[in-house]
Chains A and B, each alone.
Chain A
Amino acid sequence: LLAHGNVAQFACKVDRVVLNAMAMSAALPPDICAFGESSAIVFGEADPPLHASLRRLLSLVTEAGPKKTPLYDEHVRLGAKIVPFAGWLMPVQYTSIVEEHRAVRNDVGIFDISHMGQLIVEGAGAREWLNAMLTNNIDKLDVGMGQYTFLLNERGGIIDDLIVYRVGEQKFLLIVNAARADEDFAWLQNHLKEGRSPDRPGGRPSFANATAGKLETVVPCELTNRSANFGGVAIQGPRVVELFRELFGKDIEPPTRNYIADFRFDEMTVSVARTGYTGEDGIEVFFRTIDAVKFWNGALEKGKPLGIKPCGLGARDTLRLEMCYPLNGSDLSPDRNPIEAGLGFFVDLSKPNFIGRDALLKTKEIGPREKLVPFRMKEKGPPPRPHYVVFQNDQRTGEVTSGTLSPSLNWGVGMAYVSAAHAKIGAEIDIEIRSQKFPATIEKKPLYRKSEK
């Protein structure tokens, strides 16, 4: 009995804001994420100019063993099955993926997302600089609001997908994928350094024209990796607002969708964002590492009457796939751009410059070669899995990037890259599973809607 599926290939992901960027100006406390400082100051004078790949190599040597989140012992105590994921030891499930999945669809579930990276960009030039680094338009963000966005390479390929929150007038919090956190940080750091004025060698890093690489206005901003000192949980499901009030107070309003704000719980300050990666109403809570266990256990206790369940990466993956939220490393990669992935909505090509813009304009002009499409099996049968080959009229046309049996639909669903010419909603495709072809239909997003239950 040997698993040849993708057990270790589970989601770890930016919990994601999808559309619905209804900018309602909520009344926000003035000190949003004020506690979000970290001791890890990044730009020492003696900081050697390490190349990103060398950095990765070094981190492999020095951090050979997988890391544990501050909640690791709690997961073990709850009987979770632990798997290595993106350099971390993470719970894949506590009781059953299907049970945990249903808890989120019907009641409420809590996920450890402490493995995700947390970066802070702060300073008078932060807004302008991030707008040159990321695809979405930062200028659309009021203080306290977040948006889904991409970090691209020069070819327009996706280094990471993330959520950036504007937590202050000149301060931004980036929640990035665990597997990419070090790489993102090194990439951003290198770009900041390029912008450092040569005649001010000891000066503050500054903003440079991202596409031309030439120095423009010298506007300071600072990049900090606070990942080691901060953790987080996602609390997701239709009963999340009830739980929010149990935790923070009967009369306290949760942030509006896509917003983030600070709240007090049991003598600690936490940041709560109304975002998620499940398609249900939900919040993501970020706290100091030392507060992690207290918050986790507090939420489990207060959530008990609401039917809360601790949920692992397995359920996180099935939940996000039903919604067609992409998983970096499976659906997204440095060789895929947001247009191919069907996520052009989160790219603002009207911005004058950001890394990858030229490549995306070209893709837009000639059209993408392949497109990421959701599909649904036509018959009850074996569930699709990543890397299964897709055929259309007996021609190989693509490859499955995500696939599973949807617990909500009790049916095989997935996403695949297929040649753009064939990527039409309603088109019939075949998925090859163990040398046999099984028919499927290209669907529109999402694969699961609440009313279909």
Chain B
Amino acid sequence: MNVPDDLLYTETHEWIKREGENVRVGITDHAQSELTDVVYVELPKMDRQANAKEAIAVVESVKAASDIYAPVKGTVAEVNKALEADPGLINREPYGQGWIFVLKIDNADDLKQLKDAEAYRKQIG
């Protein structure tokens, strides 16, 4: 399973990429392979403020709906509209075109709470 070294991770299978004052968020390769066949994505509203671990998006596969959580406290700065037309991007390019939203983070120190690639690899065994 692909777990890139340069990303951060949550226990709930989101990946986080630092981009200056923002973070880009998606779900991991492991998560998409568990879900398979993503058929619908409910994106968060722009400018929505969210606390860490607050559910702000939903990814639906054929079999189930799954919540996506804000990895840290912040404000939604960008959402991936391409997923509305092509939710399968999450399956095909989980770390690329399948990103879900960008969060402007309140406090960069919060990122220290997240897992590095090695810790996430250990989690998914």
Asked if B14 is at the interface (CB within 8 A of a chain A CB), the reply is yes
Interface string of B33-47 (1 = CB under 8 A from A): 010110110100000
Residues of B within 8 A of A5 (CB): 60, 63-66
Of B59, B60, B67, most buried by chain A (CB within 10 Å of CB) is B60
Q: Are A3 and B12 in contact (CB under 8 A)?
A: no
- The SS class assigned to the B binding surface is strand
Asked if A196 is at the interface (CB within 8 A of a chain B CB), the reply is no
Q: Are A407 and B66 in contact (CB under 8 A)?
A: no
Interchain CB contact (< 8 A) of A382 among B31, B37, B65, B67 = B65
Closest residue on chain A to residue B32 by CB atoms: A1
Complex alpha-carbon distance, A93 and B64, angstroms: 13
Closest residue on chain A to residue B41 by CB atoms: A382
Q: Are A97 and B62 in contact (CB under 8 A)?
A: yes
Interchain CB contact (< 8 A) of B65 among A4, A10, A81, A381 = A4
Residues of A within 8 A of B39 (CB): 383, 405
Complex alpha-carbon distance, A347 and B13, angstroms: 49
Count, chain B residues at interface, CB 8 A: 23
Complex alpha-carbon distance, A381 and B60, angstroms: 10
Complex alpha-carbon distance, A81 and B33, angstroms: 10
Residues of B within 8 A of A314 (CB): 62-63
Q: Are B62 and A382 in contact (CB under 8 A)?
A: no
Q: Are B59 and A383 in contact (CB under 8 A)?
A: no
Q: Are A97 and B36 in contact (CB under 8 A)?
A: yes
Asked if B16 is at the interface (CB within 8 A of a chain A CB), the reply is no
Interchain CB contact (< 8 A) of A434 among B12, B13, B58, B62 = B58
Asked if B89 is at the interface (CB within 8 A of a chain A CB), the reply is no
Closest residue on chain B to residue A98 by CB atoms: B37
Asked if B27 is at the interface (CB within 8 A of a chain A CB), the reply is yes
Asked if B72 is at the interface (CB within 8 A of a chain A CB), the reply is no
Q: Are A407 and B62 in contact (CB under 8 A)?
A: yes
Asked if A41 is at the interface (CB within 8 A of a chain B CB), the reply is no
Residues of B within 8 A of A317 (CB): 63
Q: Are B14 and A1 in contact (CB under 8 A)?
A: yes
Interchain CB contact (< 8 A) of A3 among B27, B36, B64 = B64
Asked if A2 is at the interface (CB within 8 A of a chain B CB), the reply is yes
- Whether A1 touches B31, Cβ cut-off 8 Å, given contacts A6-B64, A98-B62, is yes
Residues on A facing B (Cβ under 8 Å): 1-7, 10, 81, 92-93, 95-98, 314, 317-318, 381-383, 385, 404-405, 407, 434
Listed A/B pairs (5) with beta-carbon separation below 8 Å: A2-B67, A5-B63, A317-B63, A382-B58, A405-B40
Beyond the given A6-B64, A382-B60, please list 7 additional residue pairs across the A-B interface where CB-CB is below 8 A.
A1-B31, A6-B63, A95-B36, A97-B61, A382-B58, A407-B62, A434-B42
